[in-house]
Structures are given as structure tokens and as C-alpha cells.
Amino acid sequence: MQLLGKKSLASKLLTLVNLALILVFIGLIGMVIFVSYFLLAEELPAVASSGISLQGPGLIVHLESEGALEIGYSFFTTQLLLAIPLILMVLFILYKLRFILSSLKNENPFSPDNPVHIRHIGYGIIATVVVSSIAEGIAGYHLSPIISEKFPQLSWQAFSPDLTGIFFGLLILILSEVFRQGTELKKDQEFTV
Amino acid sequence: MPILIHLDRVMVERGISLTELAEKVGITLANLSILKNNKARAIRLNTLEALCRELNCQPGDLLVYLPNSEEEKAKE
């Protein structure tokens, strides 16, 4: 399989990333409209659920409660407001990824801009993980009293930050520096007469 | 870089063109231009040897070391 150049894997991934960029952008506009409507609505929608779903790798457990679970309006407001920066960060990462894949398609992997784009992706991943951890923490804070009341036999952890995501973000930052040094070596080679 | 290459001056003194020198030395015109315009980051010893042979000069006639401040003045 050809990895670099036209009609290569990089080229196909670039098409996918372009498509994802358009979809995420449409999703962002939809989310902004929805949040605006939600925040500006004079009569707030009633927020209730008949149970909770617990999702793990390969398993989804749905627990039905006897009465409806009343979930506060502030929970949804903060979650929706945090969704916008998260979508923006995903857009930013896809946008930077597009530049890298484009240079791979043009068979120029050691483009001087690529280390900067890779570093930005690293920062983007770390920021995404931090914001999503904050969103999960807030969700846990709001939901824990409700769930403890309805399901007293259930033992659970309200907040667990995604350390794997932070690890990969940091790893990408290190790789960007390795790539920068590679780019410098290529420049040295090009300007050796 | 504080190392400057006075290739253009030596070429004028010897009355040789860039194309002619590139052919004689056996490097591309693009690479010789990089050298002449002080854009080169490194020079191979065999390239330097060929240049000295064709221009009938010493490496010191082509290369000069200028500390940064003097280099800036030279560029001005």
C-alpha cells in the first residue's frame, strides 16, 4: 500500500478529514443554535429521565428508576456550554491534521510547517482532554446526589480524569520536537553543496 | 552565519561565469547559486577542492570568517 503521494493512504485520509471538518463545522453551527435556543427559551423544557445508562467497554447497563430522575437545568446548561469549546477544539485538531495530510499527499513530509502543526495538535489534544474532564467532573457533581438517592446500592466513581489522553498529548508534543529536528537535518542536507 | 563565501568576487577576478564554473566543478547551477548567495549551510571538501582547482585559488580566498556584528555591517 502506498502511504505518501497522490492516490495514497494519506490522500484518502485527507478526503476523510475534509469531510469530517465540514460535518463538525455544521455540528458546531447546530450546537450554537441549539444552545442559544435553550438559554433564551422563556419556558425551560422539563428535564427528566426514567433511568440511567452505564457504559463500559463491551457493555452497556441500563438501570430503570421507580420514579423519574429530576435533573437540574444548570447541569444541561454547563454541559452544553462546554460542548462548544470541545467542538471548536476538534475542529482545530482536524484543521491542523489537514495541513499535515496535505503535505504527505504532496510527498513533502518534512515541510517546515509540519512540526508546528504537530505541536498544535498535541496542545489541542491536551486541551480537549482537560475540558472534557471538567465537563465529566461537573456532570458527576450534579448527578451523584440524584443517583445516590435513587440507587443507594450502586457504588460508583464520580470523576476520573483521562490520563491516557494527556499522555498521548504529551507524546505528540515530544514527537513534534523530534520532527522539528528531522526538518532541520533535511534543510542542512538540502543546503549542503 | 559568520562564514561568508566570496565566490562572486573570485569569479569576477578570474573572469568566469556561473554556468561555466558549475560545469567545470560538476555541481548544478542551483547549488552554485546557493553557495554564491551565502545560503549554504555546509560545503563538502570535494566541492571546495574542485572550486579551488578551477578558480586556481586557496580555500582562504573563498571563505572568510566574520563575527556577527561585522557580518551585519558587510550585508548592509
**Every domain of chain A and the residues it spans:** 9-42+72-190
pLDDT at A40: 78
Cβ-Cβ contacts under 8 Å, B34 against chain A: 191, 193
pLDDT at A23: 96
Q: Which residue has the higher pLDDT, A75 or B70?
A: A75
* CB half-sphere exposure, A178, CA atoms < 13 A: 6
pLDDT at B45: 94
Helix B18-25 and helix B29-36: axis angle, to 10°? 110
User: Which band of pLDDT confidence, cut at 50, 70 and 90, is reported for residue B70?
Assistant: low
pLDDT at A39: 76
Inter-chain residue contact B42 with A187, CB threshold 8 Å: no
Cβ-Cβ contacts under 8 Å, A112 against chain B: none
| B33 reaches A (C-beta below 8 A) | no
In whole numbers, what is the pLDDT of chain A averaged over residues?
Answer: 86
Chain A closest CA to B56's CA: distance in Å? 19
Q: What is the pLDDT of residues B19-59, one digit of tens each?
A: 999 999 999 999 999 999 999 989 999 999 999 999 999 99
For residue B71, the tally of other CB atoms under 10 A from its CB is 17
Is A4 in contact with A91 (CB distance < 8 Å)? no
- For residue A184, give the chain B residue with the closest CA: B41
| B34 reaches A (C-beta below 8 A) | yes
Inter-chain residue contact B43 with A188, CB threshold 8 Å: no
Q: How far is residue A47's CA from residue A110's CA, in Å, rounded to a whole number?
A: 52
Residues in chain A: 193
- For residue B37, give the chain A residue with the closest CA: A191
Could you give the domains of chain B? 3-75 (1.10.260.40)
For residue A122, the tally of other CB atoms under 10 A from its CB is 22
Inter-chain residue contact A191 with B34, CB threshold 8 Å: yes
State the maximum Cα–Cα separation within chain B, in Å, rounded to a whole number. 36
Q: What is the ipTM of this complex?
A: 0.72
- What is the rounded average pLDDT of the residues A66-94? 82
Residue B71 pLDDT > 60, yes or no?
Answer: no
pLDDT at A105: 94
* Whole-angstrom Cα Rg for chain B: 12
| B43 reaches A (C-beta below 8 A) | yes
User: Which band of pLDDT confidence, cut at 50, 70 and 90, is reported for residue A76?
Assistant: confident
pLDDT at A48: 65
Inter-chain residue contact B43 with A192, CB threshold 8 Å: yes
Cβ-Cβ contacts under 8 Å, A192 against chain B: 40-44
**Residue for grid cell 450502586:** A154
Residue A116 pLDDT > 90, yes or no?
Answer: yes
Residue A23's alpha-carbon distances to A18, A31, A80, in angstroms, are 9, 12, 18
pLDDT at B74: 58
**Residue for grid cell 549542503:** A192
Residue A172's alpha-carbon distances to A11, A13, A179, A184, B45, in angstroms, are 22, 19, 10, 18, 38
Is B29 in contact with B19 (CB distance < 8 Å)? yes
Q: What is the pLDDT of residues A2-27, one digit of tens each?
A: 888 888 999 999 999 999 999 999 99
Q: What is the pLDDT of residues A138-189, one digit of tens each?
A: 888 877 777 777 777 777 666 677 889 999 999 999 999 999 999 999 988 8
Chain A closest CA to B76's CA: distance in Å? 23
